[in-house]
Structure 1
Amino acid sequence: MDGIQMRLRKIFRQETGRSLIVAVDHGMALGPMTGLVDIKETIERLDATGLVDTWLLTKGVFKYAFNPRGCPGTLLRISGGATIAGPELTREGLTGTVEEGLALGVDGVAVSAFVGSPYEHETLINLAAVASQCRRWNMPLLGVVGVGKINEDKKQDPRFIALGARVAAEHGADLVKTYYTEKDFDRVVAGCPVPVLIAGGPKCETDLDTLKMVHGAIQGGARGIVMGRNIWQSPHPEALLTAVDGIIHRNMDVQEAFVELLREKQN
């Protein structure tokens, strides 16, 4: 067993081969948004459930706000450099290195690539360059597939999403985070040679909608989720986390998970 396999064992729960990843890296571009104003409190609150397999976070949060009770998996976001105050969120560059991740003791690094955006070329080149660094150090790379505002409508086009997932893998990603499509998501997974995890995307209208999305993705072959605002912006984040865990790791259907959610809300 080499280093990359050891690290992947931290990211994915061994009993199921799946992962419940909570993303708290949004502040790098969006600032102190609802649910992450007091990011340390949010992390502590969700960590207390014992259900988060892996965290996706930035180096600033890792250093100043991350103090888990146990030893969960960690993914360090090392691309960024654009905010909602600027002209283009897809204009990301590299903001960290694999060596920096090694020094922090993380289990993988994450880099965005914006397929079909004006910065497609630059972000894919960055992804490929980091993949080469990751090979040297046996560090897993999560390719975070984005589309940019001009392609918002394509988030539900399985052919376009399949393109992005495959492109990220071809450029060296060991894992791919991409959007869930209600139609033909199994084809997205089939066309990607590395594990696919779904992004939470925009906030769902209800917790039930979140459960339906997670269940559909797992049934379509996803190996888990990388979800942020649909968890920590929920009125009952701990209860929702328990229900999502039921789908991912206990093979619950939507109705069973919803009953679990209602039960946990009352506790």
Structure 2
Amino acid sequence: MTVIVVPAAPPRPGLVLPELAASSPLSEREAADLYAAMLKDTFRAAARSGGDLLVNYRDEESIPDEFADTGDQSAEAEVRALAADALADPDDARFEVQVGSTFSARAGNAVTHLLDEEGVQSVAVAPGTAPLLTRTEIDSAAMKLRRNEVVLGPSERGRVHFAGFTDTIDFEDAYAAPEIETLTNRAVDAGHDVDFLPAATRVETGADLLSQVATLTARATAGRFVPEHTAALVRELGLRAVEGDGGEPELVREETDSS
């Protein structure tokens, strides 16, 4: 059985997806709302798969002062609330605090602990910002992990939206750009076989969001699966991909009934 580790921060404006707010029509608050929606869809996909969901949350002590909690909820409580909203049974998720100063370190610590200390068969890291990661894809990755020590899901600009392991690699700076090359090199250096999943968009910038909105719209039109929380927020915000000047696609906001 695969443990799916989803790193999660509290959805506070400016703390999460700052590059998205700076490069799209979204405000920092709206970018944080989108982050929360994508995270909930990822939680749901992981919980519904044949694996186990582990929410690897960022605690209050690791958050810069300018994003410190000013309300009644701690960082852990905010993340737990997202899981409670996404899952039919909140007990379907296990919660552990992140350990490490970088994404590579946090992912490496989680994977290494689960494989070496808890003896699980396989571990996957899903950043939580690729809402079209489905339970079917997670289960497909689990099958691939029976024959390969590492399975990677590509995303735009050399990133990954999924990384599965049955054995450890050298995780120091393992997510250095381009992530998919770095992770593959580390796996091969460790003598591991590597396989890949179909590509999926990981939303962190305006260009990523443009690609995701166009895909969601097309899938909805065709009557295919769309991630519930993300698709609902995209509709609420009135986001559309249209042909802009020069024939290039661009992301716009249209008036909605709620606006």
**What's the TM-score, normalizing by structure 1?**
0.31
Q: Whose radius of gyration is greater, 1 or 2? A: 2
**What's the TM-score, normalizing by structure 2?**
0.32
Of the two structures, which has the highest relative contact order with CA contacts closer than 8 Å and spacing of 6 or more? 2
